[in-house]
Amino acid sequence: MNKGRITTVLEMIKFEHSVFALPFALTGALLAARATRHGWPTLQQILWIIVAMVAARSAAMTMNRIVDLRYDRENLRTKQRALVTGALSLEFAWIFTGLAVTLFLVAAWQLNPLALKLAPLAIAILFFYSFTKRFTTWSHVFLGFALGISPAGAWIAITGGLDWRMLILCGAVTLWVGGFDVLYACQDMDYDKQAGLFSIPGKFGIAKALLVARGMHIGVILLLSWLALSFGLPWPAWVGIAVVAALLAYEHSLVKADDLSKLDAAFFTVNGYISMLFLLFWGAAAAFWRV
């Protein structure tokens, strides 16, 4: 595979968006190791968690492009995507999906038996998201859930079990991703209505959709606060929550019902900072944490 083809594949799966969920998964791994072993994840565990995350997400994104090919052809915003233009073939996309799923299963196998047993369920959840916009307005929340299971998966990867408190972090990630996906969907509101697809902006309009997204992101801060309290985390965790709250407020200040021109900055740049800074502050909290 030449360099140009690799670049096309990375663009198809939006590889740079891996920065969204991966830091939350790594946070889950840090909390798991500190809470259960009073130590740290091994380098091998971290490596296989990263491989599992990237492989699963790559498979899910490619499946999304396969399933939505008809809509990508019709939507002016997506007509330059690789499967639409023929830069990548549908056959290649299926093969790539199969390879990514295989790599994910190998990573789960390298982690522990429970991770391997649950791996098919994780893939099913990730693939099912692509169909939800055909029958539910709340497909954004399902996308959030598909990424939100990553901290729980990381906890399982480290411990071979699950602590109920990880469900709080799963909920926070679900609302965070669902909220910014509502913002992102605002730009496709007219097309979604025309194509018969479901979305919160399509059902309620952009102004109300922005309010829904804000409500989701308020929920993120409440859940992160609950999580910090439930683990008894030290001050860096609370600084991290304050930073996330400030960045979410800034994100919403960029997007207005009559002005979506800054949507890309709100979607990628701000959310990339949120995930990375969350990992930084909560990683510091794990280091200071007396368990």
User: Is the CB of residue 19 less than 8 Å from the CB of residue 272?
Assistant: yes
Cα–Cα distance measured from residue 213 to residue 177, given in angstroms and rounded to the nearest whole number = 10
User: Is the CB of residue 90 less than 8 Å from the CB of residue 3?
Assistant: no
Whether the predicted pLDDT of 4 surpasses 80: no
Residue 13 is classified by DSSP as: T
Whether the predicted pLDDT of 234 surpasses 70: yes
Beta bridge pairs of residue 259: 256
* Cα–Cα separations (whole angstroms), residue 132 to 54, 208, 209, 211, 232: 22, 21, 18, 22, 37
User: Is the CB of residue 12 less than 8 Å from the CB of residue 83?
Assistant: yes
pLDDT in tens, 125-173: 999 999 999 999 999 999 999 999 999 999 999 999 999 999 999 999 9
pLDDT in tens, 161-209: 999 999 999 999 999 999 999 999 999 999 999 999 999 999 999 999 9
The per-residue pLDDT for 36 is 94
Residues 6 or more apart whose Cβ sits within 8 Å of residue 105:
116, 119
pTM over 0.75: yes
Banded pLDDT at 1 (limits 50, 70, 90): low
Cα–Cα distance measured from residue 142 to residue 140, given in angstroms and rounded to the nearest whole number = 5
Residue 269's closest CA among 26, 56, 17, 95?
17
Domain range enclosing 248: 3-288
Whether the predicted pLDDT of 114 surpasses 70: yes
pLDDT in tens, 240-249: 999 999 999 9
User: Is the CB of residue 35 less than 8 Å from the CB of residue 161?
Assistant: no
pLDDT in tens, 14-25: 766 677 889 999
Q: Which two tokens stand for residue 124?
A: 């099913």
Residues 6 or more apart whose Cβ sits within 8 Å of residue 270:
247, 248, 250, 251, 254
| Domains contained in the chain, number | 1
pLDDT in tens, 272-283: 899 999 999 999
Whether the predicted pLDDT of 2 surpasses 90: no
The per-residue pLDDT for 3 is 65
Whether the predicted pLDDT of 98 surpasses 90: yes
For 4-13, 48-57, 187-196, 202-211, which range has the lowest pLDDT when averaged over its residues? 4-13
CATH number for the domain harbouring residue 15: 1.10.357.140
Residue 11's closest CA among 132, 93, 119?
93
How far is residue 28 CA from its own chain's centroid?
14
